[in-house]
């Protein structure tokens, strides 16, 4: 008698085929980008008919969603592990860079140019929010003595937004405005460095991108953002 909770041979076979389809999709994305993803081409590579492959993924968008879920889930898990080790904001930064360098195509799928015509479902947005929550938790633990911006400061409207209702991406997180601003600075500046590095834009400039990343991180964690 089969044990409760075990999968059937049919279920295991289906999981294996879905995993192979996703692997073939990543290979396509590496050569043609996500916008060039073709389920029919994957079916041909696997010796399946188009209709047979569509029994595993109903269409291109469902396959892209599965890839994005896997990508976000892997980063969320990596952030959770780093946070549990008490590494703080710096630890999350190094975790982010290691994750990005490990698989640039995965990074660009979730943080690069949006796929034309694709709209992520709500559960994907929830995974992205989970990652941001880890960042906000770490940012709230960094002391900040930033003074209030004068009313005529160009940054004043943004500071007021953080002080008031809070940005939508914070999703009700109780972090104070200074931590919200630090988290946003972290996210934008470090992703900026990573995106340029992974795209090869630092090639020939005579410095190690890892050093630039470290310098940006030091600025973000050593004192108030400005």
Mean pLDDT, the chain, rounded, equals: 86
Three-state DSSP class for 164?
A: coil
The pLDDT of residue 204: 95
The pLDDT of residue 167: 57
pLDDT tens figures, 94-122 = 999 999 999 999 999 999 989 888 988 98
The pLDDT of residue 2: 44
Residue closest to 118 by CA, chosen among 155, 64, 51: 64
pTM of the model: 0.84
pLDDT tens figures, 159-187 = 666 655 555 556 677 778 888 888 889 99
**Residues 6 or more apart whose Cβ sits within 8 Å of residue 43:** 49, 50, 52, 53
More confident residue, 131 or 147: 131
The pLDDT of residue 15: 95
Buried b (16+ CB within 10 A) or exposed e, 182-200: bbbbbbebbeebbbebbee
Given a cut of 60, whether residue 150 has pLDDT beyond it is no
Q: Which helix (H) or strand (E) holds 12?
A: helix 9-32
Given a cut of 50, whether residue 225 has pLDDT beyond it is no
pLDDT band at 91 (very low <50, low <70, confident <90, very high): very high
């Amino acid at each position: 008698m089969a044990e409760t909770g075990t999968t059937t041979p049919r279920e295991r076979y289906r999981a294996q085929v879905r995993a192979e389809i996703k692997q073939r999709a990543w290979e396509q994305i590496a050569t043609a980008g996500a916008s060039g993803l073709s389920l029919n081409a994957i079916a041909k590579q696997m010796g399946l008919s188009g209709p047979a492959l569509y029994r595993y993924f109903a269409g291109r968008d469902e396959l892209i969603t599965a890839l994005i879920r896997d990508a976000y889930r892997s980063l969320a898990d990596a952030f959770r592990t780093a946070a549990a080790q008490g590494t703080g904001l710096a630890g999350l930064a190094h975790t982010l860079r290691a994750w990005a360098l490990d698989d640039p195509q995965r990074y660009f799928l979730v943080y690069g140019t949006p796929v034309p015509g694709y709209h992520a479902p709500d559960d994907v947005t929830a995974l992205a929010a989970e990652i941001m929550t880890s960042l906000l938790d770490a940012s709230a633990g960094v002391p900040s003595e930033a003074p209030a911006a004068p009313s005529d400061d160009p940054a004043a409207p943004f500071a007021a937004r953080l002080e008031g209702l809070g940005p939508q991406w914070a999703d009700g997180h109780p972090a104070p405005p200074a931590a919200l601003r630090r988290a946003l600075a972290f996210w934008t500046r470090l992703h900026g460095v990573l995106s340029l590095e992974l795209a090869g834009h630092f090639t020939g400039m005579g410095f190690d991108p890892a050093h630039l990343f470290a310098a940006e991180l030091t600025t973000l964690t050593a004192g108030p953002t400005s």
